[in-house]
Amino acid sequence: MIKTLKSRNHTLASGQEQLKFLSNGIFGDDKLPTFRKKIEALDEFPLKPASIEIFQVNVGYMCNQVCKHCHVDAGPDRKEVMSRETMEVCLDIMSKTQIHTLDLTGGAPEMNPDFRWFVEEANKAGVQEIIVRSNLTIILANPKYRDLPKFFKKNKVRVVSSLPFYQPDKTDRQRGEGVFAKSIEALQMLNAAGYGKEGSGLYLDLVYNPGGAFLPGNQLELERDFKKELKNHYDIEFNSLFTITNLPISRFLDFLVRTENYEEYMEKLVGSFNPAAVKGVMCRNTISVDYDGHMYDCDFNQMLGLKVDQKAGQHICDFDLEKLENRHIAISQHCYGCTAGAGSSCQGTVA
């Protein structure tokens, strides 16, 4: 298992250092236009939100896996974890607003000791949709997690799981040795609980991200391939496939730099800039919350330490929907990842 950037005291473990890196070099010497310049030309600067529909809560950075591309730099050594008190504030906000989706992420969100409590309380509070971003292998990581499919089913949680390819080699190279086999077993357990089965009302979506310095292909074509291959080889069914572009931050940024792919990858992102994708970027309908209750425009900005506009209130204790819906979204060059090609978000393509 590889080590987190944080445990290695790597320069790129710091959000500030990453932002510095992204603003210098090819973007500092005007070889490539900054994201700000690019959206200024479209009259989209400052970037502003539409209405907030999704509360994406990162309940902690601890994870049983250490994936090579992880933008969270998650791993078993990460100790940041959301407390029940912070979860209570999140629930309070959701019950007082029209925000319809609670999107739980991490790390492995299931490793938070109050994860199940949070999900049950969100259900009691009448949250319309609860999403858990599960890495799948957590279900098999410890006997105490084996009943997660049943728990998800009981609480009508929508499960969104990463599976970068329908074959073992590419998946294991990105997510760790043996991850593919365990993911397949976990998917079969979810299917057995009714997830991904037509008419069950239990949704199971998969997330594809490229296994290197290239962009994702056509979402529908990849979904068709995944459905065919997973059904034929493992009798697995799922609902939708979301393609997500790897954003140049954290461990993926480290990979790009180490392998001398950074400049070419950024050129590709900038060259594939799609103005139509700017309209649909997820920061326009999402608020990201960290384990400590601070708010960000997205999970990527969270990892870079780029909190929401100070004037909008930066902590959930100061939550003010009107101010947040009128804020200016914080941007940097990593935003090119969400506007390349068909666009990218936690719900897949946007254009």
Residues that bind another protein (CB under 8 A): 167, 169-170, 210-212, 214-218, 221-222, 225, 267, 271
Nearer to another protein by C-beta: 215 or 351?
A: 215
CB of 217 vs another protein, minimal distance in Å: 5
What is the C-alpha separation between 98 and 7, in angstroms, rounded? 40
CB of 229 vs another protein, minimal distance in Å: 10
Nearer to another protein by C-beta: 95 or 167?
A: 167
- Using alpha carbons only, what angle is made at residue 221 by residues 68 and 210, rounded to the nearest 5 degrees? 10
* Displacement of CA 180 from its chain's centroid (Å): 19
Nearer to another protein by C-beta: 44 or 229?
A: 229
- DSSP-derived secondary structure letter, 329: P
Paired strand residues for 131: 103, 158
Question: What tokens does 133 get?
Answer: 């971003």
- DSSP-derived secondary structure letter, 54: E
Nearer to another protein by C-beta: 4 or 171?
A: 171
CB of 76 vs another protein, minimal distance in Å: 30
What is the C-alpha separation between 33 and 27, in angstroms, rounded? 6
CB of 25 vs another protein, minimal distance in Å: 17
Nearer to another protein by C-beta: 221 or 318?
A: 221
**Contact residues for 284 (Cβ-Cβ < 8 A; gap 6+):** 47, 48, 49, 50, 329
Nearer to another protein by C-beta: 267 or 292?
A: 267
| 338 touches 245 (CB < 8 A) | yes
Q: How many CB atoms lie within 10 A of CB 346?
A: 19
Give the phi and the psi of residue 6 in degrees, each rounded to 5: -60, -45
Nearer to another protein by C-beta: 134 or 219?
A: 219
Give the burial string for 304-343 (b: 16+ CB within 10 Å, else e).
bebbbbeebbebbeebebeebbebebbbbbbbbbbbbbbb
CB of 206 vs another protein, minimal distance in Å: 13
Secondary structure (3-state) at 291: coil
- Using alpha carbons only, what angle is made at residue 167 by residues 165 and 173, rounded to the nearest 5 degrees? 70
Nearer to another protein by C-beta: 28 or 271?
A: 271
Of 226, 230, 229, the C-alpha closest to 186 is 230
Nearer to another protein by C-beta: 129 or 225?
A: 225
CB of 164 vs another protein, minimal distance in Å: 11
- Using alpha carbons only, what angle is made at residue 269 by residues 268 and 274, rounded to the nearest 5 degrees? 120
CB of 244 vs another protein, minimal distance in Å: 13
